[in-house]
Amino acid sequence: MPNSSTYFLPQGFRTAGIHCGIKSNQSARDLAVFLSESDCIAAGVFTTNKVCGAPVQISRERVPGENVRAIVINSGNSNACTGEQGLADARTMTARIAEEINSPAESVLVCSTGVIGVPLPVERICDHVPELFENLGETPEHLQHAAQAMMTTDTFPKIISRYVNLDGGTITLTGVAKGAAMIAPNMATMLGVVMSDVKLTPAQAEDLLPIAVNQSFNCISVEGHTSTSDTVLLMANGQSNVGLDDKGDLAQFQAAVTTLCTDLAHMIIRDAEGAEHFITVDVEGARTFEDAEKIAHEVANDVLVKTAVTGNDPNWGRIVSACGRTGCIESEAEVSLAINNHAVFKKGKPVNFDENVVSKAMKTGEVILDITLNQGNGRWRIWTCDLTSEYVRLNSEYTT
Amino acid sequence: MPNSSTYFLPQGFRTAGIHCGIKSNQSARDLAVFLSESDCIAAGVFTTNKVCGAPVQISRERVPGENVRAIVINSGNSNACTGEQGLADARTMTARIAEEINSPAESVLVCSTGVIGVPLPVERICDHVPELFENLGETPEHLQHAAQAMMTTDTFPKIISRYVNLDGGTITLTGVAKGAAMIAPNMATMLGVVMSDVKLTPAQAEDLLPIAVNQSFNCISVEGHTSTSDTVLLMANGQSNVGLDDKGDLAQFQAAVTTLCTDLAHMIIRDAEGAEHFITVDVEGARTFEDAEKIAHEVANDVLVKTAVTGNDPNWGRIVSACGRTGCIESEAEVSLAINNHAVFKKGKPVNFDENVVSKAMKTGEVILDITLNQGNGRWRIWTCDLTSEYVRLNSEYTT
């Protein structure tokens, strides 16, 4: 559990998280709201899966937006594969929240995460909206409650806050995420909410978020499965009155958002069920960055590479073979590999290394696979985790 | 262990399998030869992995061929990632066999399977060639010995023989395979040898084999990993004097080879380490067969689908989501799914089914996932197995 003193809300934001009765556990929060007292510039990045939840379809219609006031999120039910009724239910959820703040339904965004194919108990949600609003507040505890209400199989809420000093003054950036990156039973979704009191233009918001997501949440992978509901939303209400007028400020804010998202992404990997190792796959020297990305993904998602790491086995053969499978190299002669800074394979040839030493380094739980090609300047980095018997147990013993 | 009376060698073929000392277990065979007393028409299909073993590179140069006499195979060492020395060693192996039969080295094909990156003990192999030839024979036992000498982590040799009645007479077809489809520790390879006394033209051989392999060995998948050494070789010596002169005969022989390879492929899946379920993924109604293939692969290699099957969980959400991830469908409304003939999802909507009944049907260990789209006539079928804690244990506890 993160220390609550390390996070806080930007000016003008309040949050709440309560139990409304979707999760069977009475003490588990399952309904959250992230509310700004004034209109926000909002942007969103959504799953590329063609099978996507109703909330994804509704929120996608409403961003980018200039008059967004709130995000409502429920856990325990993803409202996916629920047809026309699901779309109507997602709309109803946003309308009910909007009613409380005298705004149009379009000013509310929505996310749902949990089991799929089960009708959303939308009445139960609507009935609890007054209680949700009674619980609104701006303290770290209120933020934590909202983060908890997004959780499914997460073992801890994932929250990060940062102050960013810009030319015009200091702004606040707070991010919340949930998800065990599809590692969890039954379609666990990755959700992220980024709030700031910075003053953005719609174009800035729309440009900023995909860049940040691409270098953070899209660089984590547990088993390569994109869920039906993955969503990252950004709300900026401008209450700091600090804008991003010059290029330097824009770059600095972009970096801050990207770092925030990266830190949240790492928290997701560290919370991946059954995981014992945090793995960084770092590819450089590829022909293009697309090639580097392809190689990094292939290695990161390779079941044999993952299980080798589980066993602290510096099995370079599995890694080099995964590189070969991408078609991005002509032969192993182009490949060098280091595991936790120990060279194990150099330009196509095995290096004589002490397996016990490298294995011991892997036992720390932090594993860095440096793959260096001699083709060009393409680089990409991905974070992932290993594959353990516990993962299989969790995902096979869970019954719908 | 298959009943030895069910398999036999085509006319003019002899085989042997002995222990030459590559495997540490003294009673484990690790050197095999498949020999025809006269020249064969030969064809080959090889791994598409850019990182490929030296034997793959040497054999690839020698097929298609008209004067092939033998295939030599060792297990325990894959002679991959071994550089120039590896290529020289693979050539030496073939030259040493060729010397015994007074043929040019080019008349011998070679395969190696086992650990990678370790120099091949080629002298040990050469020293044992006389013993190998002393053990040549044409009985089912000789065939079994050769099949055993190809094995790495296989628990039983995989051998199938068939008589095929053609217009000109009866021919014999015998196939041998090894491989736990990359499920085994350290790059287990899939190898296949198909022998026949049919009279083929080089063009027929070259056309036949890829079609058979594409519909059989390429339709099995344990975790989607193409190894560095996968090879299927065909030798036909014509000693039956029965050719494939008319179209009907050609089609019949093609079907026989495809069926033989399919049966061998199924034996590989059934021998996959840790596997508890044999899974058939059957896609029809896709826009094109390429789309159907893409969907079938995505579902078959999905770790969440595999673990759901392990737990006998009819978790249609994971399967439908995997379909969506391919981009080959526009939405779940195009998808219907049956598990072991029980409809669970129909045109985008969950079907109300008895989970206990479907789960019980899955417990038989045979699981059929029928995915039906409403787009066109594209179909594809893949066979795979589930993912168990035992798989993870085997692949993580193995140490290089």
Q: Is the minimum CB–CB distance between A168 and chain B shorter than 8 Å?
A: no
Closest A-chain CA to B392: A389
- How many percent of chain B have pLDDT more than 70? 94
Nearest-neighbour CA in chain A from B223: distance (Å): 7
Chain length of chain A: 400
Helix then strand then coil, in percent of chain A rounded to 5, is 35, 30, 35
Distance from CA of B245 to the nearest CA of A (A): 39
- Cα–Cα distance for residue pair A32/A20, rounded to 1 Å: 10
B276 touches chain A (CB under 8 A): no
Contact residues, chain A, for B392 at CB < 8 Å:
307, 310, 387-389, 391-392
Distances (CA, A) of B206 to A167, A302, B43, B235: 70, 33, 6, 11
pLDDT at residue A315 is higher than 80: yes
Q: What is the DSSP string of A228-291?
A: SS-EEEEEE--TT--B--SHHHHHHHHHHHHHHHHHHHHHHHHT-TT---EEEEEEEEESSHHH
| Mean pLDDT estimate for chain B | 91
B389 closest CB neighbour out of A50, A302, A389:
A389
Q: Annotation-wise, does A94 bind a ligand?
A: no
Contact B190/B217 with Cβ under 8 angstroms?
A: yes
Could you tell me the domains of chain B? 4-270 (3.60.70.12), 278-397 (3.10.20.340)
- Tell me: the pLDDT tens digits for A70-119? 999 999 999 998 989 999 999 999 999 999 999 999 999 999 998 888 99
Total length of chain B? 400
Q: Residue B325 is encoded by which pair of tokens?
A: 């991830």
Chain B residues in contact with A389 (beta carbon < 8 A):
389, 392-393, 396
Q: Which of A118, A317, A355 sits opposite B117 (nearest CB)?
A: A317
**Half-sphere exposure for A352 (CA within 13 Å, toward CB):** 1
pLDDT per position as a tens digit, B319-334: 998 999 898 999 999 9
pLDDT in tens, A288-309: 999 999 999 889 988 889 989 9
Q: Is B338 helix (H, G, I), strand (E, B) or coil?
A: strand
Q: Is B268 strand, coil or helix?
A: helix
A236 near A34, Cβ under 8 Å? no
Which two three-digit tokens encode residue A310? 């589980």
| Residue that has been written with the tokens 């380094």 in this structure | A361
* Per-position b or e across A17-37, b if 16+ CB within 10 A of its CB: bbbbebbeeeeebbbbbbbbe
Residue B195 tokens read as: 């022998």
* CB proximity A53 to B under 8 Å: no
Find the residue in A nearest to B49 (Cα): A325
* Distance (Å, whole) CA B394 – CA A1: 34
Could you report the per-residue pLDDT of A319-342, keeping only the tens digit for each? 998 999 898 999 999 999 999 999
Please indicate if any CB of chain A lies within 8 Å of the CB of B48.
Answer: yes
Dump pLDDT digits (tens) for B93-145: 999 999 999 999 999 999 999 888 899 999 999 999 999 999 999 999 999 99
> Per the structure block, which two tokens stand in for A293?
């990305």
Q: How confident is the model at residue B224 (pLDDT cuts 50, 70, 90)?
A: low
- Using alpha carbons, list the distances in angstroms from residue A362 to A251, A277, A379, B28: 36, 8, 23, 33
Whole-angstrom distance, CA of residue B83 vs CA of residue B75: 19
CB of B149 closer than 8 Å to CB of B29: yes
Distance of CA B361 to the CA centre of its chain: 28
3-state secondary structure of A322: helix
For A258-298, what is each residue's pLDDT tens digit? 999 999 999 988 888 788 999 999 999 999 999 999 999 88
3-state SS assignment for residue B121? coil
User: Is A189 annotated as ligand-binding?
Assistant: yes
Average pLDDT score over chain A = 91
Nearest residue of A to residue B185, measured between CA atoms: A304
A57 in contact with B, Cβ within 8 Å: no
Whether the per-residue pLDDT at B378 is higher than 80: the answer is yes
What's the pLDDT at A246? 84
DSSP per-residue codes, B54-92: HHHHHHHHH-SEEEEEEEEEEEEE---S-HHHHHHHHHH
Handedness of CA A221, B270, B357, B392 (dihedral sign): negative
Q: Which residues of B touch A286 (CB under 8 A)?
A: none
What angle in degrees, to the nearest 10, is found between the helix axes of A83-100 and A54-62? 50
Instruction: Find the residue in B nearest to A50 (Cα).
Output: B324
Query: Which residues of chain A make contact with B393, given a CB cutoff of 8 A?
Result: 389
pLDDT of residue A225: 58
* Residue in B81, B304, B349 nearest the CB of A332: B81
H helices of B63-139, in order, are: 83-100, 122-127, 129-134
Which of B321, B342, B353 to probe by mutation at the A interface, max A CB count within 10 Å? B321
> Which of B51, B311, B348 is nearest residue A81 as measured by Cβ atoms?
B348
Q: Do A49 and B325 touch (CB under 8 A)?
A: yes
Determine if residue A395 is labeled as part of a ligand binding site: yes
Q: Tell me the sheet residues that pair with B17.
A: B32
Find out whether A224 and B297 touch, Cβ atoms under 8 Å: no
What percent of chain A is predicted at pLDDT more than 70?
Answer: 94
DSSP string, A300-321: HT-HHHHHHHHTT---HHHHHH
DSSP conformational letter for B312: T
Tell me if A400 is assigned to a ligand binding site. Answer: yes
* Cα B148 off chain centre by: 15
Q: Coil, strand or helix: which one is A215?
A: coil
- Answer whether residue B186 shows pLDDT above 50: no
A256 in Cβ contact with A346 (< 8 Å): no
Nearest alpha-carbon partner for B223 in A328, A224, A295, A316:
A224
Dist CA B36 CA B378 (whole Å): 41
**3-class secondary-structure state, position B317:** helix
Contacting residues of B for A324, CB less than 8 Å apart: 49-52, 228
Across the interface, whether the CB atoms of B355 and A225 are under 8 A apart is answered no
Q: Which residues of B are catalytic?
A: 189
User: What is the nearest CA distance from A202 to chain B, expressed in angstroms?
Assistant: 29
Backbone angles phi, psi at B349, to 5 degrees: -125, 135
**pLDDT number for residue A141:** 96
Q: Is B395 annotated as a binding residue?
A: yes
- The 10s digit of each residue's pLDDT in B147-178 is 999 998 888 999 999 999 999 999 999 999 99
Closest chain B residue by Cα to residue A307: B396
Contact of A272 with A222, CB cutoff 8 Å: yes
**A164 phi/psi in degrees, rounded to 5:** -125, 120
Please give the residue of chain A at the shortest CA–CA distance from B335.
A51
Strand partners, A14: A35
Check residue B318 and give its pLDDT: 87
Cα three-residue angle B85-B89-B95, rounded to 5 degrees: 145
- The tokens 């262990």 sit on which residue? B1
Token look-up 């000093």 returns A165
Cα gap A38→A69, rounded to integer Å:
6
Count of beta carbons in the 10 Å neighbourhood of residue A343: 16
Distance CA(A113)–CA(A351), nearest Å, equals 47
B364: left (phi over 0), alpha (psi -120 to 50) or beta: alpha
Element (H, E) at A177: strand A169-178
First vs last Cα of chain B: how many Å apart? 29
Strands B342-346 and A349-350: unpaired
Contacts of B99 (CB under 8 A, 6+ apart): none
Measured between CB atoms, does A343 come within 8 Å of chain B? no
Q: Which of A47, A189, A280, A372 is catalytic?
A: A189
More confident residue, A130 or A221: A130
Rounded CA-CA distance B55/B86 in Å is: 8
A313:B398 CB<8 A: yes
Q: What are phi and psi of A130, to 5 degrees?
A: -60, -45
What is the helix, strand, coil percentage profile of chain B, to 5?
A: 35, 30, 35
User: Given this model, what pLDDT does residue B380 score?
Assistant: 93
Contact B49 A330 (CB under 8 A): no
Q: List chain B residues with CB under 8 Å of A318.
A: 186-187
Cα–Cα distances (Å) from A323 to A82, A137, A296, in that order, read 40, 50, 8
Q: Tell me the pLDDT tens digit for each residue of A181-226.
A: 544 434 457 899 999 999 999 999 999 999 999 888 888 876 555 6
Sort strands B31-46 and B13-18 into parallel, antiparallel or unpaired.
Answer: antiparallel
Q: Is A397 on the interface with B (CB under 8 A)?
A: yes
* CB burial readout A324-339, b (16+ within 10 A) else e: bbbebbeebebbbbbb
Locate A271 and state its tokens. 């919370």
In this complex, is the C-beta atom of B182 within 8 Å of any C-beta atom belonging to chain A?
yes
Task: Indicate which of B307, B346, B363, B371 best probes the interface with A, i.e. most A CBs within 10 Å of its own CB.
Answer: B307
User: What is the mean pLDDT of the segment spanning B347-373?
Assistant: 95
Q: Would you say residue B302 has pLDDT above 50?
A: yes
% residues pLDDT > 90 (chain A): 72
pLDDT tens-digit profile of B8-20?
A: 999 999 999 999 9
Tell me the C-alpha distance between B270 and B267, whole Å. 5
**CA pseudo-torsion sign A232, A238, A241, A243:** positive
Q: Is B25 in a helix, a strand, or coil?
A: coil
Both structure tokens of A286: 């590829």
Within 359-388 of A, beta carbons closer than 8 Å to B belong to 359, 386-388
